Amino acid sequence: MKIKLFLLMLTVSFFNFKNESKKDEVKITPISHATAVISFDNERIYLDPTGGASAFSEFEKPTYVLITDIHGDHFDTKTLNELDLSSTTIIAPKAVADKFQNSKAKEIIVINNDEQKSFKNFSVEAIPMYNLREEALKFHTKGRGNGYVLTINKERIYFSGDTEDIPEMRNLKNIDKAFVCMNLPYTMTVENAANAVLEFKPKEVYPYHYRGTGGLSDVEKFKQIVTEKNNAIKVVQLDWYPKN
């Protein structure tokens, strides 16, 4: 009897362990350019949704939408109007929230630079994103848009949004996954992106948002720079531009 009870307890413990392991997984699926779906527990966060509802046909409707800035490759009203947002919370900077008209979303929560919001099973910290080069200041002014650090099941995930290698990025701490932009003339060079990553030392870094006016940035060069100077940082390449 004792042996049977022990085996039953062992089976239950293993089942719970498997469930907890599955629950702790965070899956990030690239859609295109700056758009991604972040899935965990029973949540789905659509980051900067673009491409129309058809781009998300393989996913259940979003529980949250996270928007970084006002430009069309981040804030696409056509896509937002096509999506079922009836049970969705939109999280966005004030500059974006002010542009919503007759939103179908359940609610819109404003978060600005250096603010943090906690939700049921994750938190969001708004990180500044802006340009430094004189010729690029017109693209992204400080205080308008947000990068984000999401804390999900104790994992810290950074999305840079449109930015250069600003001090706020370089001073990030304890980042597990970093999604870093690199495209000219709007954000920064691969060299500056690599230099910033080498300073804040995420465990993993994912180049994203790397299509500029001259085509796709040289992400292989970015990987080479990072790996040669710190091979403890894992550079992961996802397919953000499947049609190119």
CB hemisphere CA count around 100 (13 angstroms): 21
Q: Class of the 26-235 domain?
A: alpha beta
- pLDDT per position as a tens digit, 175-215: 999 999 998 889 899 999 999 999 999 999 999 999 998 89
182, two tokens: 């690199």
Cis before 185? omega within 30: yes
Report the distance separating Cα 21 and Cα 205, nearest Å: 23
Mean pLDDT over residues 229-244, rounded? 92
Domain boundaries, the chain: 26-235
Dihedral sign for Cα 204, 210, 117, 80, please. negative
- pLDDT per position as a tens digit, 27-40: 999 999 999 999 99
For the question of whether the overall pTM of this predicted structure is more than 0.95, the answer is: no
Q: How many CB atoms lie within 10 A of CB 123?
A: 13
Report the distance separating Cα 161 and Cα 53, nearest Å: 22
Q: Which residues neighbour 187 within 8 Å (Cβ) at sequence distance 6 or greater?
A: 131, 140, 162, 163, 164, 181, 209, 212
